[in-house]
Amino acid sequence: MALYTDIVMKHFMTPSNVGSIENPSGVGEVGNAKCGDIMKIYLKIEDNIIKDVKFETFGCASAIASSSMATELVMGKTVEEALAVTNAQVVAALGGLPAHKLHCSVLAEEAIRSAIKDYYDQNGIAYDPALFPAFDEEEDENEEGVRMV
Ligand code: FES
């Protein structure tokens, strides 16, 4: 059986929403200290709706596919709906990930949440801090084997 589903391969080879957004409403950058992968998500939010979302990921195929799928899942959603997107939903939408690659999807969930937190902070919007557990924002980890998108 193939390690990756066709959906993962498609989102790895031709990812959606790659890039950055000028004057974003919120930016989230998270990293995994163990593998060194880094994911950055940009959000454009108008009237509480995610009008645009882009990503830059220095990471493995699963991280890139997870980023791509996560951006598709939150596009057009309300901020609250985007906040409710979990890594399990990302994995399900990808048709599954190998067990040792599940942390790549966690990075996608965290990057979205981190970008929303930044949006809240920038706009003085009150929120429950419990919604945002501490993220690992290490940027200078080992970048061995990284692939830039
Ligand atoms: Fe660490 Fe994929 S994000 S190996």
- DSSP letters, 26-59, are EEEEEE-TTT--EEEEEEEEETTEEEEEEEEEES
CA-61 nearest atom, ligand 1: 2
pLDDT of res. 147: 38
pLDDT of res. 108: 97
pLDDT of res. 1: 55
Cross-sheet strand order for the sheet of 26-31: 26-31, 38-46, 49-58
pLDDT of res. 115: 98
Quick check: is 60 catalytic?
no
pLDDT of res. 35: 92
What's this model's pTM, rounded to 2 decimal places? 0.88
pLDDT of res. 64: 98
CA-closest residue to ligand 1 atom 1: 35
**Does 65 sit in the ligand 1 pocket, CB within 6 Å?**
no
Token pair, residue 9, equals 């391969």
What type of residue is 67? S
**Does 104 sit in the ligand 1 pocket, CB within 6 Å?**
yes
Q: State the 10-residue block means of pLDDT for the chain, 149 residues long.
A: 90 98 97 94 98 97 98 98 97 96 96 97 93 61 38
pLDDT of res. 138: 44
Domains of the chain: 6-122 (3.90.1010.10)
From the candidates 79, 104, 108, 115, which is the catalytic residue? 104
**Does 38 sit in the ligand 1 pocket, CB within 6 Å?**
no
Residues 67, 115 contacting (CB under 8 angstroms): no
**Does 62 sit in the ligand 1 pocket, CB within 6 Å?**
yes
**Does 114 sit in the ligand 1 pocket, CB within 6 Å?**
no
pLDDT of res. 131: 87
Residue 28's DSSP bridge partners are 41
DSSP structure class, residue 18:
B
Centre of ligand 1 to C-alpha 46, Å, is 31
Token pair, residue 101, equals 């690659």
pLDDT of res. 132: 87
